[in-house]
Amino acid sequence: MLSLTAAVPSSPCSSSSSLLFFRRKGCCGFPRFFCSSSPSQESSPTLPPPEKQALRGNHAGVRLEESVERSTTRSRVDAWISSRIGGVSRARIQASIRSGLVSVNGRTIDKVSHIIKSGDKVSCTISELQPLRAEPEDIPLDIVYEDAHILVVNKPANMVVHPAPGNANGTLVNAILHHCKLPSITCLDQSADYGEDGGSDSSDGDSSDFFSIDVMSRSLEASVRPGIVHRLDKGTSGLLVVAKDEHSHAHLAEQFKEHSIRRVYVSLTSGTPSSTSGRVEVPIARDPINRIRMTAISGLSNARGARFAASRYKVIQVLAGGGSALVEWRLETGRTHQIRVHAKYLGIPLLGDEVYGGTKSLALSLLRSRSPSAHRARVDQTVSKLQRPCLHALSLGFRHPHTGKEANFSCPPPSDFSEILRDLQSFTPGDHRS
């Protein structure tokens, strides 16, 4: 085994490596977020009703002309159009409405909440993607490993991975541009067209869903192209690999698509699973009511957009008399918010995950009822520290795209996670390890 830790002696994280060469021609599927020197346009023909079509590319200029079915109940125009055109987010459709590119019965509308009814004739043209400017920023990076081809970083909690509307600065991409000595770039934000509808929680996506950024410098053309091959949620801390050239990007992306990347996470949960270990195999889809959230699709439901998702979990330690647990997760697939959704499905939302039910009020209820009265004040103090979902990407393993060696990295949770864990361990002396 070849130790890689010498490159970063100050890091608490660890790594190791051993050999294989992965051969396959072709590039990764592109991308939620595409960066280039000039925005591209792709026109598509008018969409034939009534089938919803999933489209690829920029989508600018795509047209929909369709009458609302007689059986359709009254609904918002943005929601109805979103149900008819696949691959285009509601945020993009709303931008098209506000730009005057949508008409109902021949009359241009500009309100996204406009109500349509059966028989209405709707015409829509999808607006241009708005370019974002990503500037290099001197943001400290916790580099676990780096060579000429890849960069492994320990992302802090509350750092967004890539620029998006509302998060144009302070992202991991901004930091990487500075670290790799690249100039500013113009980026097309396509993340919304793949289900990321903005908002502080979904603007950066998840560790889970396969994802890539192809960052091309205008001055350097394609000679240096660092790429984010996967994501971590804004609130999630831990390990993330970055490709520094096109070859590495394609090979790492292929490994993610084949689910051969080894990823282990640890979390603190609200409550304890009924079984100390298990496998969750429940499809995940966008929540039709709250678009910044995903949802587990159980039973025989054939919800639109549902994708197969599987996670394995193991309880490492029961905490505070069962009020919480330290749980390890191993991903078989990668979907947006997968761990958070599956945790909620099991009835154990992550501590601090307000989007998926892991609220402070739930934590207080569970912990107060299971802790000695002498610890009540400390319980309240611990819960007040919850500022993010308690989820950390603990380890990451993959085949090095150039050397072929098996590279494995690990990094302990940051201080905020560790402090809450220590508090929970102290509340009930009888807590046991599984």
Residues annotated as catalytic are 233
Count CB atoms within 10 A of the CB of residue 322: 15
> Which residue type sits at 412?
P
139 vs 154: CA distance, rounded Å: 13
Q: What is the token pair recorded at 229?
A: 């091959």
Count CB atoms within 10 A of the CB of residue 278: 14
Q: Are 189 and 132 in contact (CB under 8 A)?
A: yes
284 vs 293: CA distance, rounded Å: 10
12 vs 21: CA distance, rounded Å: 29
123 vs 105: CA distance, rounded Å: 8
